C-alpha cells in the first residue's frame, strides 16, 4: 500500500475514508478487536474478491459470506431479509461487523442491513465502482427500493470506515466508469468547478483509473461529500444539494425498471435541473450548455422521451425532498451555487422537460 489519502468525516459518528492502491489491506485494522464475526455482503461479480478477503481475515474472525443479487436487484426487502436470516442463525451481535463489498447498490443494501440489525451494528464499506467510491459508500445514506419508488425505505447510518481501493476498478467496465462519473460531474456543478475543468481538459485521462487526474477527481468528489455530510448528516439543510439531478433521475430509473444506470438517469436529471434553473432566470445559457457538453463527452444521455412526462411527474411526488404535496428541486443560481426551488408551477416544469424531450 502506497500513498494513501485519508479524508475524515466529522460529527457525531466520525470515520475515515482511505483512498489509494491496496487500501483493502487495512480492513482487519478497521474492523478492530471487538468483533468476533464479520459478514461480507457482496455482489456476485465480487465473489472471488470476497473469498480473498475472507481468507485474509480468517484466524482473526469468523467470516460469513452473503452473496446478494447483482445491481439494483439487491435493494429489495427480500434480500435484506436473507441477510438478517444469516445474522440471526449465526448469533451476530452488536460488536460484530458487516462489510459491504460491491457497487452502490450493494453498499446501500449492506449499510441498511447493518443499520437495522439489532438496531445498528458497525459497517465497513469497500466500494468497487466509481460511483460507489465517490458517492454511495460515503455519507451513510443506506436503503432499499419499494414497488413505488427508489430508496423509499432506509436509514442514516454512518460506516465506521470506507476503503476506496483504486485497484478494485481494474475489472470494472468502461460503461460503469462513465456512469459513475456522472456523480463526480454533479459534485463539480454543485460545489467544485475544478472538477469540470479536469473533464474539459482531457476526458480520456479523467476516466482512466490509472491516471493522477482520475485520482484527483475521486478525492475532490469524496472530500466535498465528506464536508457536506459532516455538517448535515441527516439532510436537514445543505445535504439536499447532493440530490442535484436526482428528482427526475430517480423517476427515470423507476420508469425504466432500473435498466438504466443510476449515473445515466442522474445525467438527464441534471440537464433538466439546469434547464429549470435557466427558465427561472438564475442560470446562463452557457452554464446549461456546459452540462450538455461535459455529460455528452462522457457519452451519458441528456434527453428523454417527451411523452413520458405524466408518469415521471407522478413518481416525482414521492421524492424525499417534497413537502406537504409540493415538489422541491435542487437548482443552480450559478456553477457551485446550488439553491432549492420550492413548488414550481407544473407549466414551468413541463417547459424545462420539453428542453430535454425527444
Ligand X SMILES: O=C(O)C(=O)C[C@@H](O)[C@H](O)[C@H](O)COP(=O)(O)O
Nine cell digits for residue 347: 407549466
Where in 151-190 is the site for ligand NAD (CB under 6 A)? 151, 168, 171-172, 176, 179-180, 183
216 part of the active site:
no
Cell output for 90: 449465526
Provide the b/e sequence for 239-261 (b: ≥16 CB within 10 Å).
Answer: bbbbbbbbbbbbbbbbbeebebb
Among the options 183, 240, 253, 275, which is catalytic?
A: 183
On whether 186 is known to bind a ligand per the annotation, the reply is no
Angle subtended at Cα 203 by Cα 201 and Cα 207, rounded to the nearest 5 degrees: 130
* Stretch of residues binding ligand X (CB under 6 A), selected from 38-46, 120-128, 241-249, 329-337: 241-249
Task: Look at residue 180 and give the partner it binds from ligand X, ligand NAD, none, a contact being a CB closer than 5 to 8 Å depending on partner kind.
Answer: ligand NAD
Contact 287, 335 (CB under 8 A): yes
Given the residues 30, 262, 291, 328, select the one marked as catalytic. 262
Q: Angle formed by the axes of helices 262-279 and 246-255, to 10°? A: 130
Between residue 151 and residue 180, which ones bind ligand X under the rule CB under 6 A? 151
3-state DSSP percent of the chain in helix, strand and coil, to 5: 55, 20, 25
Known catalytic residue: 225?
yes
Task: State the binding string over 307-346 for ligand X (x if CB under 6 A, else -).
Answer: -------------x--------------------------
For 245, phi then psi, to 5°, come to: 80, -5
Determine how many CB atoms are found less than 10 A away from the CB of residue 200.
14
Taking Cα atoms as reference points, which of 286, 265, 264, 263 lies closest to residue 274? Answer: 286
**Binding segment for ligand X among 14-22, 54-62, 111-119, 235-243 (CB under 6 A)?**
235-243
Min dist CB 6 to ligand X, Å, is 20
Taking CB under 6 A as the criterion, the residue among 246, 254, 278, 292 binding ligand X is 246
Q: Interface residues with ligand X (CB under 6 A)?
A: 135, 139, 141, 151, 183, 235, 239, 242-243, 246, 320
Give binding residues for NAD(+) as ranges.
70-75, 104-108, 128-129, 141, 150
Amino acid at each position: 500500500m502506497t500513498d494513501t489519502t485519508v479524508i475524515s468525516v466529522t460529527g457525531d459518528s466520525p470515520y475515515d475514508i482511505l483512498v489509494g492502491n491496496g487500501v483493502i489491506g487495512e480492513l482487519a485494522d478497521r474492523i478492530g478487536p471487538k468483533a468476533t464475526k464479520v459478514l461480507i455482503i457482496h455482489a456476485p461479480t465480487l465473489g472471488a474478491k470476497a473469498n480473498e478477503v475472507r481468507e485474509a481475515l480468517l484466524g482473526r474472525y469468523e467470516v460469513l459470506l452473503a452473496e446478494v443479487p447483482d445491481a439494483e436487484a439487491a435493494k429489495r426487502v427480500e434480500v435484506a431479509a436473507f441477510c438478517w436470516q444469516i445474522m440471526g442463525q449465526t448469533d451476530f451481535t452488536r460488536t460484530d461487523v458487516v462489510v459491504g463489498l460491491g457497487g452502490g447498490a450493494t453498499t446501500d443494501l449492506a449499510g441498511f442491513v447493518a443499520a437495522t440489525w439489532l438496531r445498528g451494528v458497525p459497517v465497513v464499506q469497500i466500494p468497487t465502482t466509481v460511483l460507489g467510491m465517490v458517492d454511495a459508500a460515503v455519507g451513510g445514506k443506506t436503503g432499499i427500493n419499494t414497488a413505488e419508488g427508489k430508496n423509499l425505505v432506509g436509514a442514516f447510518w454512518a460506516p465506521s470506515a470506507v476503503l476506496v481501493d483504486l485497484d478494485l476498478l481494474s475489472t470494472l467496465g468502461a460503461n460503469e466508469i462513465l456512469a459513475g462519473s456522472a456523480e463526480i460531474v454533479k459534485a463539480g456543478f454543485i460545489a467544485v468547478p475544478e472538477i469540470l475543468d479536469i473533464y474539459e481538459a482531457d476526458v480520456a485521462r479523467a476516466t482512466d483509473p490509472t491516471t493522477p487526474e482520475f485520482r484527483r477527481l475521486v478525492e475532490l468528489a469524496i472530500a466535498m461529500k465528506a464536508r457536506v455530510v459532516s455538517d448535515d448528516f441527516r439532510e436537514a439543510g445543505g445535504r439536499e444539494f447532493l440530490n442535484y439531478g436526482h428528482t427526475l433521475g430517480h423517476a427515470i430509473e423507476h420508469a425504466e425498471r432500473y435498466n438504466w444506470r443510476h449515473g445515466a438517469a442522474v445525467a438527464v436529471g441534471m440537464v433538466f435541473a439546469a434547464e429549470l434553473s435557466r427558465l427561472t432566470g438564475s442560470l446562463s445559457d452557457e452554464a446549461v450548455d456546459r452540462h450538455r457538453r461535459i455529460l455528452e463527452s462522457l457519452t451519458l444521455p441528456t434527453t428523454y422521451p417527451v411523452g413520458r412526462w405524466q408518469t415521471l411527474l407522478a413518481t416525482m411526488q414521492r421524492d424525499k425532498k417534497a413537502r406537504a404535496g409540493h415538489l422541491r428541486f435542487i437548482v443552480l443560481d450559478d456553477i457551485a451555487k446550488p439553491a432549492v426551488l420550492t413548488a414550481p408551477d407544473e407549466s414551468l416544469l413541463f417547459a424545462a422537460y420539453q428542453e430535454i424531450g425527444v
